[in-house]
Amino acid sequence: MRFFSDNAAPVHPNVLATMAAANTLDTAYDGDAFSKRLDARLSETFETEVTALWVPSGTAANCLALAALCPPHGSIVCHRDAHIQNDECGAPEFYTHGAKLLLADGEGAKLTPDAITDILSLQRYDVHQQRPHAISITNATEYGRVYLPDEVAAIGALAKDRGLALHMDGARFANAVVGTGASPADLTWRGGVDALSMGFVKNGGMNAEALVFFGGDHAETTRYRRKRAGHLLSKGRYLAAQILAMLDDDVWLANARAANAGAALLADAAGDRLIHPVEANEMFLRVTADEAVSLRAKGFDFYDWGPGEARLVVSWDQQEADIRPLAAAIRAL
C-alpha cells in the first residue's frame, strides 16, 4: 500500500464522468461552457466575487500568482521549507523573472507574523536589495500543519500594514478547510489573502488547479501570462470540468475528510513518534532505518524525509480498511 504521495492516487469517478460529459464540441481554449461557469461557482464557494483561472499544475498556479503579485525586482517572504522554494525547480524565479524568495523559519513550515517581521527587518529597503512585495504561505503546510483563520488574518494584517500582497499555496487547501473546520472565505480573503492556488489534483482531480484572485486586476494580466507560459490549454473544458466535478456535491471536502481521517488514524497509532501534529493528511514520523525497512517489508511505501524521518501521506481514496494495517504496523514498531 502506497503512502508516499497523494499525487499518485487515482482520480475521483465524478471527475472522470464530468470530463466525459465535456467530451462534445465546444469553443477552444477557455471560452467553453464549463470554463465560463468557474467564476460563479467559486464565487459561491468563497462567498465573494472571485476570478479564477484553471491551470494544469500547482506550480503553474503558484508561480502565475507570484508573478502577478511581485515584480522582477521584488522579493517574496516564504518559509524555508516551502514548496515554491524547494520543489519547483526555480519556477517562481522563472515566472517572476527573477524575484527573490526570502526564507523565514517557523515550526511545521508555518510562518508567523514574528518570523515574517524578522525577515523584513533584515531588509534594507534601498535599491541595492529587492524590495519585499509579497508573502506566500502554504495551507495546509508542507508538514501537514494548518493555519487557522486567525493565523491567516494576523499575517494578512501584517501584509496589509507593510504594503505586501498575500499568496496562499493551497495544494492541499481542501485538507486545510476540513482540518480547521473553517470556511474557505475565512481561510482566505477574509484574512487578507489576495490569491489562492486552489489544489484539486492531490485530492482526486487529474490535472486541473484553480488560481483564484480575490479582487484586484491581477486576473486580466495573468491571462496573458498563462497563455505565454503555455498553460492556456486548447481544450480547457476538460480542466474546468474537473474543478466543477470536485466542487459539486462537495466532493472536494468529502475527499479531504477521508484523507484527513486516515491520517488521524495513523497519528493516533504513531503517538510520540510524530514529528509534527497531524492536522491534515500528511504524517511525519520518527523511525529508525531498521524500522523503515520493516514497514516497507510489510508492503507500506513512503518517502524518507531526512535521517530518521519518514513522510506518509493518505490519499482521498484510501479506506479505513487500507489504513488500519499500517496503523497496526506503526504501533507494533
Which residues lie near a copy of itself (CB under 8 A)? 2, 4-5, 7-11, 16, 19-20, 23-29, 55-61, 63, 71-73, 75, 86-91, 93-95, 97-100, 127-131, 201-202, 206-207, 221, 223-235, 238-239
Count Cβ atoms within 10 A of the Cβ of residue 181 and give its class: 0-12 exposed, 13-18 middle, 19 or more buried.
Answer: exposed
- Residue 283 CB, shortest distance to a copy of itself, in Å, is 18
**Closest approach of Cβ 164 to a copy of itself, in Å?**
16
DSSP notation for 175-220: HHHHHH---HHHHTGGGT--EEEE--GGGT-SS-EEEEE-SSSHHH
Dihedral angle computed from the Cα positions of residues 280, 285, 291 and 292, in that order, rounded to the nearest 10 degrees: 60
- Beta-strand relationship, 303-304 and 282-286: unpaired
- Provide the β-strand partners of residue 277: none
Nearest approach in angstroms of CB 192 to a copy of itself is 24
Instruction: Specify the 3-state DSSP secondary structure of 309.
Output: strand
Task: Report the residue number, 87 or 320, with the smaller CB distance to a copy of itself.
Answer: 87
By beta-carbon proximity to a copy of itself, the closer residue of 126 and 290 is 126
Which CB, 144 or 191, lies closer to a copy of itself? 144
Min CB(111)–a copy of itself separation in Å:
18
> Please, which residue, 138 or 180, has the CB nearer to a copy of itself?
138
Query: Cell numbers at residue 9, please?
Result: 492516487
Q: Whole-angstrom Cα distance, residue 332 to residue 87? A: 33
Nearer to a copy of itself, 53 or 182 (CB): 53
**Smallest distance from a copy of itself to CB 149, Å:** 28
